[in-house]
Structure 1
Amino acid sequence: MIIGICGGTGSGKTTIARKIVEAVGRERVVLVEQDSYYRNLADMPLDERHQANFDHPDSIDSDMLVNHLMRLKQGLKVEMPLYDFKTHTRSDQIEIIPPKPVVIVEGILIFAEPRVLDLLDMRVYVDTPDDIRFIRRLRRDIAERGRTVDSVIDQYYRTVRPMHFEFVEPSKRHADIIIPEGSNTGISVELLCSLVREKLLEERSIPAQ
Structure 2
Amino acid sequence: MDKGRELFIDQGRNLSIVKYDEQTSKQIAAALAVAQHKFGITLTVAGPDEFKTRAVAAAVEFELIVKFSDPAMETHRLQMTEAKRQAERESKRLALEAAREAQSQAAKVSLLESKEACVLWINGESGQHVLVDTEQSDYVGPVVQLDGLHAVQKVGRTAYAIHELENLDRVPFVGDTKNEIQYRGGFGHVKGCEVNRGGRER
TM-score of the superposition, structure 2-length normalised? 0.20
Relative contact order (alpha carbons < 8 A, sep ≥ 6): 1 or 2 greater?
A: 1
Q: Which has more radius of gyration? A: 2
Higher helix residue share? 1
TM-score after normalising by structure 1: 0.19
